[in-house]
Each structure stands twice: as structure tokens, then as C-alpha cells.
């Protein structure tokens, strides 16, 4: 079963009993708030939408008051905005702080480890460069010294640690990346990450590193005003779920 199907399967029951309270689609992130007061985050693929008109979402204006399942089932869509909204909804349902530990994947990196990063986590790059034996970045829109994303098909076969953006869950490339990787440590990283070990059981994933919203109103304001990961730090808390010991 594909990862996005597992996410749907795990969140589906609760999604039918929860109602959408608020939705904000920002330039950096999307947030979905449910009527139980819990929020979920997901990355906004703004540049890739290619909307034919100035309306990016055909069902805009109709979401509040609908059951969460309405958005969750859009996880099967190939439209990136649909998938973003679905993942944010799933994260609001699945991510629970009590299941998380205080853990920093960077602490697993040392001078004996080769690291491949899929996606561009700019705050981590200089830190990893100083710690790792070898470090390669594979990015769909290459910048700096990063390689194009198709380089991951080769680089992931020869690394010790893979740090993979949770945005791969939105564009559904995660399954192929998992198939390719031979890394001993495979971490999915970013606010879009669903921190639920059951979803990733029997996969190569070892760490799920995401975020919990701690200040709903502040998070919604920051996202509405175009803020991204760094700005959201004041309204979120990092978490990590260990999938394998």
C-alpha cells in the first residue's frame, strides 16, 4: 500500500467525526484547524499550481463547517493543493505530542557518516557540512551546490543517513525514494510530517520529525501573512517519533 493510502486509512475514521473550523493557505505553509482545537500543517506548493485563473482552489469559500473527511480524501488527488490540504488535515488528526520524544536527528551525524538531503533545509546545511564525512543535497529546483532531484536515484544508494523532506508525501514521491534508499537512518523531516509510526511500519523510515502547533492564532496569522518555517518557530514545537530503535 502506498504511504498516502496508509495516511488516509489511519485518519479516515476520526475525519468523519471532526469538522473543519478554519483553513489558511499561505505562500509558505497551509494550516487546517479542526473543531477539537487541533491544527495540522503542510507545505504550500505555490509555484507548481499552474492555476488557469486567479482562483487556485475551486471549492474555496465552502470548507468551514464541512467534515474533515472532505479534505482528507483529497490525499489521492494529483493536484498539489488538494494533497497539501489533505496532509494538513491528516496531521491535525494524527500528530499527538504525547507520542513524541525530544530528539535531534543531527546528533546522529558524525565524521564517519555520508548524508543525503532530499529537499533544501537551509538552516541545517552548514551544520551538516561541518559534521558529515560527505554531504549531498538533491533538490527539484537546485540552488547553491545542490544536485537536481533525479540525482537522488544514485546518491540514496550510497549514503548512511537520508534526510528527506516531508513534502515528498505531498507530491507522492516518497514511495520511490524509500525503494531506492539503502541508508541505515532514514528521517522524514519538516512541519508536513505525519508523526505516526504505524503508517511507516515495515518501511525503511527510522525517524519522523515534524511540528506541533502550540499557538493556533499566532500560527494562522503568520501563515496568512506569508511566513514560513523560521517564522513559525514561535507558534510551533518540534517533535520526533522513533520508528525503529
The one-digit pLDDT tens for each residue of the chain (245 residues) are 999 999 999 999 999 999 999 999 999 999 999 999 999 999 999 888 777 788 888 899 999 999 999 999 999 999 999 999 999 999 999 999 888 988 899 999 999 999 999 999 999 999 999 999 999 999 998 988 899 999 999 999 999 999 999 999 999 999 999 999 999 999 999 999 999 999 999 999 999 999 999 999 999 999 999 999 999 999 999 999 999 75
Residue 89 in any domain: the answer is: yes
The last residue of one of the domains, among 46, 74, 97, is: 97
Q: What is the pTM of this model?
A: 0.95
* 140 conformational bin, left if phi > 0, alpha if psi -120 to 50, beta if neither: alpha
CA dist 158 and 194 (Å) reads 26
CA dist 231 and 137 (Å) reads 23
Q: State residue 144's pLDDT score.
A: 87
Q: State residue 56's pLDDT score.
A: 85
- C-beta of residue 111 within 8 angstroms of C-beta of residue 218: no
The last residue of one of the domains, among 97, 125, 156, is: 97
Residue 188 in any domain: the answer is: yes
For the domain that residue 62 is a member of, what is the CATH number? 3.30.390.100
Residue 225 in any domain: the answer is: no
C-alpha cell at 115: 548524508
Domain that holds residue 182: 105-211+237-242
CA dist 151 and 166 (Å) reads 18
Residues 38 and 69 in one domain: yes
- Pairing assessment for the beta strands 236-242 and 20-25 based on DSSP bridges: unpaired
Residues 85 and 109 in one domain: no
Q: State residue 87's pLDDT score.
A: 98
The last residue of one of the domains, among 43, 65, 97, is: 97
Question: How many structural domains are present in the chain?
Answer: 2
C-beta atoms surrounding 50 within 10 Å: 8
151 Cβ contact partners less than 8 Å away, ≥ 6 residues apart: 136, 138
For the domain that residue 179 is a member of, what is the CATH number? 3.40.50.11590
Residue 170 in any domain: the answer is: yes
Residues 123 and 28 in one domain: no
Amino acid at each position: 500500500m502506498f504511504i498516502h493510502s496508509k495516511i488516509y486509512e489511519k485518519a479516515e475514521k476520526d475525519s468523519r467525526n471532526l469538522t473543519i473550523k478554519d483553513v489558511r493557505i499561505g505562500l509558505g505553509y497551509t494550516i487546517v484547524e479542526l473543531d477539537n482545537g487541533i491544527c495540522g500543517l503542510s507545505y504550500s506548493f505555490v509555484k507548481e499550481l499552474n492555476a488557469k485563473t486567479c482562483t487556485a482552489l475551486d471549492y474555496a469559500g465552502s470548507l468551514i463547517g464541512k467534515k474533515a473527511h472532505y479534505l482528507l480524501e483529497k490525499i489521492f488527488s494529483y493536484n498539489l493543493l488538494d494533497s497539501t490540504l489533505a496532509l494538513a488535515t491528516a496531521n491535525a488528526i494524527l500528530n499527538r505530542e504525547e507520542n513524541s520524544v525530544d530528539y535531534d536527528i543531527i546528533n546522529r551525524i558524525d565524521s564517519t557518516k555520508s548524508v543525503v538531503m532530499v529537499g533544501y533545509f537551509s538552516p541545517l546545511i552548514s551544520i551538516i557540512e561541518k559534521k558529515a564525512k560527505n554531504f549531498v543535497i538533491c533538490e527539484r529546483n537546485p540552488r547553491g551546490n545542490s544536485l537536481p532531484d533525479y540525482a537522488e536515484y544514485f546518491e540514496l544508494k550510497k549514503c548512511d543517513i537520508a534526510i528527506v523532506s516531508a513534502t515528498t508525501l505531498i507530491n507522492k514521491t516518497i514511495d520511490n525514494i524509500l525503494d531506492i534508499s539503502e541508508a541505515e537512518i532514514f528521517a522524514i523531516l519538516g512541519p508536513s510530517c505525519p508523526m505516526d509510526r504505524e503508517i511507516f511500519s515495515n518501511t525503511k523510515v527510522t525517524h519522523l520529525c515534524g511540528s506541533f502547533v502550540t499557538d493556533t492564532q499566532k500560527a494562522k496569522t503568520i501563515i496568512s501573512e506569508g511566513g514560513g518555517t523560521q517564522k513559525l518557530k514561535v507558534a510551533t514545537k518540534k517533535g520526533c517519533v522513533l520508528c525503529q530503535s
